[in-house]
Structure 1
C-alpha cells in the first residue's frame, strides 16, 4: 500500500520541468500593452483634413516615438506599433515650429512667410529617428503666407 513506484520519481521530475518552463513563459510576457499608433495617426489625419486653425491632442502611452511626416512609430515595453497617415504632416523638429504647435501665431515667431517655409522644408527633410515620447502629442493645422501645413509636436 505504501510502496514507492519507480514511475513516481519520473512523474515529479517531469512535472517540475514543465512548471519551470511555464514560469519562464509567463515571466517573459510583456507587462504592458503595445502602444496605439493607429489612434495617434487618426488624430493627425483628422486635423490634417480639417480647416486651418484646427487643433488636436492625443495622449501617448509610449516610451519612444519616431515621426517623419508620413508615419508614426511608437515603442514601449509591450512592443512597437506603426501607422501610416492619409496626408503628410510636418514634425515640429525646431524650437520655432514647436512654439507654433503650442499656440503661437507663425507671424509672431518668424520674420517672414519665406522663413516659415524654409523651416518647414528643413523639418521635412531631417530625420532624427527614435526620441523620448511626450505624454501627449499636439497637432495644429496652420496657414500663413501661402503655406498650408499641419505641424505635429
Structure 2
C-alpha cells in the first residue's frame, strides 16, 4: 500500500522538463505583430502615380524605419518587414523637405527651382540607416520648376 513506484519519479521528472520547455517557447514568442511595410509601400506608390498635389497619410506601427527612396523597411518588437516601391520617391531628410511634405509650398521654402532640385537629389543619395519611426507617414507629390517628385516623411 505504501510502496513507491520507480516509474512515478520518471513521470514527474519528464512532466517537469516538458513544462519548462513549453514555458520557454511561450516566453520567446513576440508580443506584437511585425510591421506592415507592404501597406506603407502601397501608400507611397499610390501618391507617386497620382497627379502633383496629391497627399496622403498612413499610421505607422513601428519603432524604427529606414527609407532610401526605393524600399521601405520597418522594425518593431515583432520583427522586420521590407517592401519595394514601384517608382522611386524622395525621403524628407532635410528640414526644408520636411516642411514641403508637411504642406508648405516649395516656393515658400526654396529660393529657386534649382535649389529644390539639388536638395531632392542629395536626399536621394544620402543613406542614414535606421531612424526612429514617426507615428504617421506623410506622402506628398510635388511638382515645381521642372522637378516632379514624391516626398515621404
| TM-score bracket relative to the smaller structure | over 0.9
1:1-153 alignment, distance < 5 Å: 1-153=1-153
Cα deviation digits, residues 39-83 of structure 1 (max 9, x gap): 000000000000000001110000000000000000000000000
d(CA) in 2 for partners of 1:113, 1:106: 8
Runs ≥4 in structure 1, deviation > 4 angstroms? none
Cα deviation digits, residues 74-114 of structure 1 (max 9, x gap): 00000000000000000000000000000000000000000
> With structure 1 as the length reference, what TM-score do the two structures score?
0.99
d(CA) in 1 for partners of 2:73, 2:135: 15
Matched pairs, number:
153
Q: CA deviation at 1:4?
A: 1.7
> With structure 2 as the length reference, what TM-score do the two structures score?
0.99
The answer for unaligned runs of 5 or more in structure 2 is none
The answer for unaligned runs of 5 or more in structure 1 is none
